[in-house]
Amino acid sequence: MDIRQLKYFITIADEQNYTRAASALHISQPSLSAAIKKLEEELELTLIDRSARELWLTREGQILYQEAKKLLHHYEHVSFEMDRLKQQGPLELAIGLIESSMFFIPDILTQFKQEYGDVRISLLETLSLGDVEKALNNFDIHLAITNQYIHQEDIETIPIYEENLVALIPPGHHLGRQDSLHIYDLEGVNFIVCKEGFQTRQDILNAFSKSGVKPNIQFEIERFETGCSLVEDGLGITVVPENYVRYAKQTDCTIKMIDGAGISRIVYLAYDKNRYQPPIVMRFIGLVQEFFA
């Protein structure tokens, strides 16, 4: 069994017709039929049900089709990577990030660049679950720092740290002068929250729901920076990751823990475990894990 045979088999399965598959592969139909027959003999399995008028894969054929597609994709990616190295020189590292990761990423990048000074690094914002999944599946990034747990078999999702979500209160607001803040104190106030599709929104709204409090949502945002600006202008209160406001955001707003709410989130490192990952990618992953060990 070799790559050529698997490519032939995948094409037949996709086209569901020997003639169309042979045309797509630029070979004769007898040659294609012989190649598939040889593949079946080598595997000692029947891959195509020839008793039906239409072309159908057997159960064994369906399994081979799914696995062969992964293998062929991996092979093509490695071949492309090797060609790219010959033509473009130094490797690149593409990382998907959430906003709050900037409190630790610069420290890790500093150490990483000391080891790999020639590597060009791309930092892309991947905020929602859809952003992360699309970027990983399309190979736009090698890995992601995300607060979304990705339920995909091919994606390895490793928890790296947990952080509190805190209330950000406008300057001069009476809630900022209280000794403590409870979630029911936020009932009725103008509230700013991430839009649908963001895990932080779900974490916050779940906490409100458990406390029997209905938030008065006035603004829906994508970026915490936007939410913080709205709070600074006195347009409402929001809930954001503690690390974001304590390390990455200078603000005159009041930061308060929400007593008894237990609002927190887990931040993960995610990458495609079935994709060829260059050594520099695995080294960066190792540095992230060492940072939070």
Name beta bridge partners: 238.
168, 192
Give the domain-ending residue among 62, 88, 114.
Answer: 88
* Domain of residue 197, CATH code: 3.40.190.10
Give pLDDT tens digits for 49-101.
877 677 888 899 899 998 988 888 888 888 877 776 665 545 789 999 998 88
259 & 171 share domain: yes
* Structural domain span for residue 249: 163-264
Predicted local distance difference test score (pLDDT) of residue 79: 84
Across all residues in the chain, what is the average pLDDT?
A: 89
80 & 37 share domain: yes
- Do residues 96 and 90 make contact, with C-beta atoms less than 8 angstroms apart? no
103 & 231 share domain: no
172 & 251 share domain: yes
Q: Where are the beta strands (DSSP E) in 30-154?
A: 48-49, 56-57, 92-97, 120-125, 143-146
67 & 107 share domain: no
Give the domain-ending residue among 42, 59, 88.
Answer: 88
Q: Where are the beta strands (DSSP E) in the chain?
A: 48-49, 56-57, 92-97, 120-125, 143-146, 155-169, 181-182, 190-194, 216-221, 237-241, 254-256, 258-259, 264-272
64 & 197 share domain: no
260 & 272 share domain: no
152 & 100 share domain: yes
* Domain of residue 63, CATH code: 1.10.10.10
260 & 170 share domain: yes
Domains held by the chain: number: 3
Give pLDDT tens digits for 231-263.
999 999 999 999 888 876 677 899 999 998 788
232 & 115 share domain: no
Q: Where are the alpha helices (DSSP H) in 146-221?
A: 199-210
pTM score above 0.75: no
245 & 285 share domain: no
In the predicted structure, residue 126 carries a pLDDT above the cut 80: yes
Give pLDDT tens digits for 193-226.
999 888 889 999 999 999 999 999 999 999 899 9
| Plot region of 83 (φ>0 → left; ψ -120 to 50 → alpha; else → beta) | alpha
- Do residues 162 and 266 make contact, with C-beta atoms less than 8 angstroms apart? yes
Give the domain-ending residue among 39, 72, 88.
Answer: 88
100 & 39 share domain: no
Predicted local distance difference test score (pLDDT) of residue 91: 76
